[in-house]
C-alpha cells in the first residue's frame, strides 16, 4: 500500500499591489490565497485518492478588493479550464477597477467541467482548452468558442541529481532537454529511469548528474484541455503513442504502477513538487509561479526551443490559416524552426442567441473585449507566459463577438 501523503501548497501569483478605490483605471495585481489540491496515486492500475482538499479557484484577499459593489451590480458566474486560471484570476480582479458594476467569478474546475456547465446552463460562460464535440454543439444549441490567448504546456520535472548541490563551488546543472520520441517513451512507460541512454544522449552535460532512479510520471486525473493539448502532441510526435489525443485517456504508466494523477494544473504541479524524480505537464504559468523547472524540447524541425512568447507566436503563425468556422485551431507539433511543439489556445464558450439578461450579456462581452484589446490585459498575459492573439485572429474573434444577440438584438453597441 502506498503510504505517503502529499500536501500541496500552490501559490499562483505574487503579492498584492495596494491601490485606492478612487483609481478605477488601474489594473492591480491580486493577492491569491494558497490553494490545496487533490492527488491520486495509481496502485496496481487502480486510482487511490491520497488526499482530498479544496480545488476551488484561488480567491482574492478581501482586504485587497475594491469598495463594496453598488446597488444593481451584475454578478457573472463562470467556470472551466485551469490552463488559463492564473490569468483569469488576474483579469477578473483587475476588471473590478475598470467596471465596478460587474463582478466576475471564474472557478477552475477543468475543461470537461466547464463544457458541461455551459451546456447545462449553470454558468454564464465557460473556459475550455478542449474543443467542443459535434454532440456538444447539438446539446448546447447556440454555443460558440472564442480563442482568448495561447500558451505552452511544458514538461516540468523534479530530479534528485547525483551530485552534491551544496558543494563549493556549486555545480552548474544545465536545463533538461527532451525530444518528441523520448517524451512519448516516458509517458508510454518504455523509458523508466532518468539515466536511460535516450535521455543521456540528449543531455551529455547531465551525464554525471542524472540518477539511476525510476521516473514517476504525473498526469491529470480529471477531464482536461491541458491533457488534450498534451496528448494530441504525443499523438503527432510518434506512432508509438496509442492512447490517443483527448481530454481524458488511459495512461500506459498507470498499468505499470508508475503513474500519479493530479486534479487540475495545480494538482499536477503539486505532485511533481512532492515526488522526487518525477515529471509532469502543466500550463507554463504554473511552472513559473511555483519555480518548477521545465524541459526544453527538440521540435519537429530538429531545433532545441524553450517555451516563451516567441516560440508560442511562431507556433500560432505556423497554423494561422487553419481556423475552423467555430474559431478553433490545433497548434501542436508546429513545423517552424522556432516553434514550441506543445502549444494550444484557450477558449471562452458563450451562448450566442439564447441569453435573456441583456445587461449581463453586455457586461460579459465588454469584459471579453477588454481582455482582448486592453494593453494592461495584454501585459498581464505576457507576464504570466501567455501569448496574446495575432491581430488577424483578434479581428476574427471580435467579429464573432459582434454577432452575439440578446432577445434578437446585437449585444455589443
**Amino acid 68: pLDDT:** 60
Confidence band of 17 (pLDDT split at 50, 70, 90): very low
Task: Flag whether 367 is in a domain.
Answer: yes
Strands 387-388 and 343-351: unpaired
Q: What is the percent of the chain where pLDDT is above 90? A: 78
Q: 254 and 165 share a domain?
A: yes
**Amino acid 60: pLDDT:** 32
Q: 288 and 190 share a domain?
A: yes
Backbone angles phi, psi at 229, to 5 degrees: -60, -45
Q: 86 and 162 share a domain?
A: no
Q: 141 and 163 share a domain?
A: no
The set of cell numbers assigned to 71 is: 446597488
Task: Flag whether 337 is in a domain.
Answer: no
SS3 391: helix
**Amino acid 403: pLDDT:** 96
Tell me the mean pLDDT in the region 161-168: 85
**Amino acid 16: pLDDT:** 32
The CATH number given to whatever domain includes residue 88 is: 3.40.190.10
Q: What is the pTM of this model?
A: 0.83
Residues 6 or more apart from 73 whose CB is under 8 A from it? 100, 101, 102, 103
277, 303, 318 — which closes off a domain? 318
Give the pLDDT confidence of 312-334 residue by residue, as tens digits.
999 999 999 999 989 999 999 99
272, 296, 318 — which closes off a domain? 318
Residue range(s) defining the domain that contains residue 289: 156-318
Task: Flag whether 116 is in a domain.
Answer: yes
Give the pLDDT confidence of 178-205 residue by residue, as tens digits.
999 999 999 999 999 999 999 999 999 9
| Least confident interval from 42-46, 243-247, 249-253, 343-347 | 42-46
What is the C-alpha separation between 299 and 152, in angstroms, rounded?
13
Task: Flag whether 189 is in a domain.
Answer: yes
318, 335, 369 — which closes off a domain? 318
Give the pLDDT confidence of 103-160 residue by residue, as tens digits.
999 999 999 999 999 999 999 999 999 999 999 999 999 999 999 999 999 999 999 9
What is the C-alpha separation between 161 and 211, in angstroms, rounded?
6
Confidence band of 6 (pLDDT split at 50, 70, 90): very low
> Looking at the predicted structure, is the pLDDT value of residue 291 above 60?
yes
Q: Which residue has the higher pLDDT, 69 or 390?
A: 390
Task: Flag whether 239 is in a domain.
Answer: yes
Rg (the chain; Cα; Å) = 21
Structural domains in the chain (count): 2
Confidence band of 25 (pLDDT split at 50, 70, 90): very low
**Amino acid 19: pLDDT:** 31
What is the C-alpha separation between 240 and 197, in angstroms, rounded?
18
Question: Nearest 10 degrees: CA dihedral of 265, 268, 269, 275?
Answer: 180
Tell me the mean pLDDT in the region 271-275: 96
Q: 181 and 273 share a domain?
A: yes
> Looking at the predicted structure, is the pLDDT value of residue 337 above 70?
yes
The set of cell numbers assigned to 323 is: 481556423
Task: Flag whether 175 is in a domain.
Answer: yes
Tell me the mean pLDDT in the region 354-381: 96
Q: What is the mean pLDDT of the chain?
A: 86
**Amino acid 165: pLDDT:** 79
**Amino acid 170: pLDDT:** 82
Q: 107 and 222 share a domain?
A: no
Q: 370 and 314 share a domain?
A: no
Q: 253 and 294 share a domain?
A: yes
263: nearest Cα among 158, 386, 108? 108
> Looking at the predicted structure, is the pLDDT value of residue 285 above 50?
yes
Q: 147 and 162 share a domain?
A: no
Tell me the mean pLDDT in the region 240-263: 96
Give the pLDDT confidence of 54-84 residue by residue, as tens digits.
333 333 333 344 456 666 689 999 999 999 9
Q: 178 and 278 share a domain?
A: yes
Task: Flag whether 110 is in a domain.
Answer: yes
User: How many CB atoms are located within 10 Å of the residue 310 CB?
Assistant: 14
Task: Flag whether 56 is in a domain.
Answer: no
Q: 179 and 300 share a domain?
A: yes
Q: 188 and 265 share a domain?
A: yes
> Looking at the predicted structure, is the pLDDT value of residue 46 above 60?
no
Amino acid at each position: 500500500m502506498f503510504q505517503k501523503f502529499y500536501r500541496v501548497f500552490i501559490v499562483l501569483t505574487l503579492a498584492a499591489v495596494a491601490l485606492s478605490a478612487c483609481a478605477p483605471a488601474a489594473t492591480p495585481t491580486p493577492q491569491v490565497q494558497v490553494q490545496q489540491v487533490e492527488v491520486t496515486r495509481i496502485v496496481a492500475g487502480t486510482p487511490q485518492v491520497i488526499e482530498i482538499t479544496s480545488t476551488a479557484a484561488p480567491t482574492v484577499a478581501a482586504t485587497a478588493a475594491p469598495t463594496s459593489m453598488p446597488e444593481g451590480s451584475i454578478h457573472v458566474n463562470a467556470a472551466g479550464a485551469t490552463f488559463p486560471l492564473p490569468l483569469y484570476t488576474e483579469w477578473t480582479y483587475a476588471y473590478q477597477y475598470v467596471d465596478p458594476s460587474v463582478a466576475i467569478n471564474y472557478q477552475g474546475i477543468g475543461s470537461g467541467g466547464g463544457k458541461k456547465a455551459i451546456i447545462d446552463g449553470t454558468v454564464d460562460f465557460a473556459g475550455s482548452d478542449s474543443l467542443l464535440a459535434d454532440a456538444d454543439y447539438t446539446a448546447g444549441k447556440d454555443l460558440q468558442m472564442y480563442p482568448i490567448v495561447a500558451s505552452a504546456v511544458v514538461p516540468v520535472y523534479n530530479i534528485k541529481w547525483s551530485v552534491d548541490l551544496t558543494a563549493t563551488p556549486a555545480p552548474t546543472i544545465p536545463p533538461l532537454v527532451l525530444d518528441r520520441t523520448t517524451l512519448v517513451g516516458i509517458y508510454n512507460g518504455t523509458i523508466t529511469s532518468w539515466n536511460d541512454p535516450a535521455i543521456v544522449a540528449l543531455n551529455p552535460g547531465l551525464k554525471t548528474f542524472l540518477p539511476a532512479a525510476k521516473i514517476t510520471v504525473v498526469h491529470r486525473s480529471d477531464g482536461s484541455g491541458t491533457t488534450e493539448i498534451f496528448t494530441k502532441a504525443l499523438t503527432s510526435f510518434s506512432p508509438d503513442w496509442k492512447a490517443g489525443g483527448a481530454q481524458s485517456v488511459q495512461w500506459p504508466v498507470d498499468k505499470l504502477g508508475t503513474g500519479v494523477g493530479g486534479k487540475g494544473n495545480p494538482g499536477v504541479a503539486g505532485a511533481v513538487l512532492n515526488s522526487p524524480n518525477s515529471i509532469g505537464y502543466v500550463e507554463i504559468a504554473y511552472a513559473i509561479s511555483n519555480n518548477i523547472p521545465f524541459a526544453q524540447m527538440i521540435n519537429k524541425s530538429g531545433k532545441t526551443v524553450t517555451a516563451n512568447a516567441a516560440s508560442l507566436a511562431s507556433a500560432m503563425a505556423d497554423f494561422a490559416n487553419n481556423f475552423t468556422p467555430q474559431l478553433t485551431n490545433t497548434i501542436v507539433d508546429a513545423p517552424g524552426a522556432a516553434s514550441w511543439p506543445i502549444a494550444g489556445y484557450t477558449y471562452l464558450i458563450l451562448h450566442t442567441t439564447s441569453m435573456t439578461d441583456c445587461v449581463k450579456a453586455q457586461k460579459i462581452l465588454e469584459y471579453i473585449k477588454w481582455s482582448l484589446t486592453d494593453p494592461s490585459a495584454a501585459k498581464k498575459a505576457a507576464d504570466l507566459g501567455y501569448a496574446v492573439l495575432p491581430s488577424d485572429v483578434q479581428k476574427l474573434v471580435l467579429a464573432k463577438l459582434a454577432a452575439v444577440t440578446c432577445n434578437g438584438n446585437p449585444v455589443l453597441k
